[in-house]
Amino acid sequence: MLRGNKINMDLLFMKMNYFFAWGAYAPVVPFFATIGKQRGYSALVMGITLTGLQIPSLVVRPTLGSITDAYQCRKLMFLIGEVLLALAVLGLIFIPGATATESIADHIVFKTLLYWVFFLLLFFLCLGSVMRSLMEDTICVSLLGDNVHNYGQQRVWGAIGYGITSIVSGVVVDWFSKGQAHKDFRPGFVITLICVAFDIYVSAKIKVEQVKKTETFSGNMKRVLTDFRVIVFLTATISFGFFYTFILFFLFWYLEDITNLYHPEYEPYIKTIQGLSQTIQCFLGEIPFYFVSSYIIKKVGHMNVFSLTFIGYAIRFILYSIIENPVVALSVEILHGITFALPYSAGVAYAAKLAPVGAEGTMQGLVGMAMKGIGIPMGNFVGGYVIKNLGIIDAFKIFSISSLMVCIVISITNLIVNRMYKTENNVVQTS
């Protein structure tokens, strides 16, 4: 963060941005599925809903990345995304807090006006999030320059913010819901609005400099998409997004199910337990790995990090499938560093390494599309379908086996890639 003997104020503001931006997500995003569950929507309905919410990542990310590269308007899009997110959360505060004592038939849900209002608010929240997070990472790696491997040391502040607001929002939701049959999520939404307000103030102070593109968009894409390393990298990123979905959106569903099945005495404190799970993820999982991510990436390589990630998911899912106590399940969240912080850091750094000069936004958008526009929607749909038909316990067993299979395929493919490019480099040096 030091530039000579002076503090690099842009990186300081970047750290503060990550803190407030990710702190804003914690009271809302992980609760998407359980908010829907409380409204009487089945796992399949929420799986379909969450899949639809990822459309912005599929369409907007690569498009927005190329537009901001061409017209040099990253900061403007950054701020627009934050404002859009704030407006969507404000709408969630005032939408009727519908609840249901039992699950509503799937075909009826999609015919109700309240569902579509709920969906549109979440959609615009996700759209704003996509715009903000893409510009955030692109601006960050641009500020880091040749030190892009230190990305994790910036992103760690997002984990700190997320971890703090997670437990705070969980406690206040339980507190304000005392004596009620259902949980009142509005106190958490207010925390989100406060964080977004601070984030807009901080983000406005970041100086953004862009390098003019040296190639056309089509030229950049041709270079990127014909690079076999990029193809393998994007495949691994899609798989990472697929498995991450089960943590991001269905972990709280799992905690509620095992609480209802085995330990109903914990029900009055379930939001506190869920919030604590996120805090453990951040402080005992993510933060340590963000600090050591640069060292690990240098030692094992960007792609080998993904192999470690899929092993971590296999272990994590099988543990979920055998644990019956939600408090004991909290111990599994320590693995979040291996299954999220490490691959996320490696992905952003590797995308910056592979990107043509001046097309950093395009490349980050492409990687974001792979993870959040393809991988996460696939995970949402598959997860919702499997959970509804088999239950979340058996679903995690299937996810564990699947993760091991993906690990084997990615590892073998990476060995082939390394041999291919090692041979090419030797030929160039000999010439």
Q: Classify strands 6-7 and 2-3 as parallel, antiparallel or unpaired.
A: antiparallel
Query: Tell me, what DSSP letter sits at residue 330?
Result: G
- In 265-306, the DSSP E strands lie at none
Task: For 125-176, write each residue's pLDDT tens digit.
Answer: 999 998 888 788 888 888 888 787 788 889 899 999 999 999 999 999 999 9
Q: Which band of pLDDT confidence, cut at 50, 70 and 90, is reported for residue 425?
A: very low
pTM (two decimals): 0.85
Domain boundaries, the chain: 7-422
Q: What percent of the chain has pLDDT over 90?
A: 60
Q: What is the dihedral of CA 97, 94, 197, 190, to 10 degrees?
A: -40
Q: H-helix or E-strand containing 164?
A: helix 151-176
Residue 238: pLDDT band by 50, 70, 90 thresholds?
A: very high
Orientation of helix 74-94 relative to helix 113-144, angle to 10° = 150
Distance between CA 21 and CA 83 in Å, rounded?
12
Residue 424 confidence (pLDDT) above 60: no
Say how many C-beta atoms besides its own lie within 10 A of residue 197's C-beta.
14
Q: What is the pLDDT of residue 211?
A: 62
Closest CA to 14 of 144, 195, 206: 206
What is d(CA 188, CA 173) in angstroms, rounded to the nearest whole number?
6
- Output 239-242 pairs: Cβ under 8 A, ≥24 positions apart: 239/306, 239/310, 239/375, 239/406, 239/410, 240/306, 240/309, 240/343, 240/347, 240/371, 240/375, 241/370, 241/371, 241/372, 241/374, 241/375, 241/376, 241/378, 241/379, 242/375, 242/376, 242/378, 242/379, 242/382
Alpha helical stretches, state H, 26-99: 32-38, 43-53, 55-71, 74-94
- pLDDT tens, position by position, 104-125: 899 999 999 999 999 999 999 9
Q: In the predicted model, is pLDDT for residue 32 greater than 60?
A: yes
Residue 196 pLDDT exceeds 80: yes
Domain 7-422 in CATH 3.30.390.30: no
State which H helix or E strand residue 256 sits in. Answer: helix 251-262
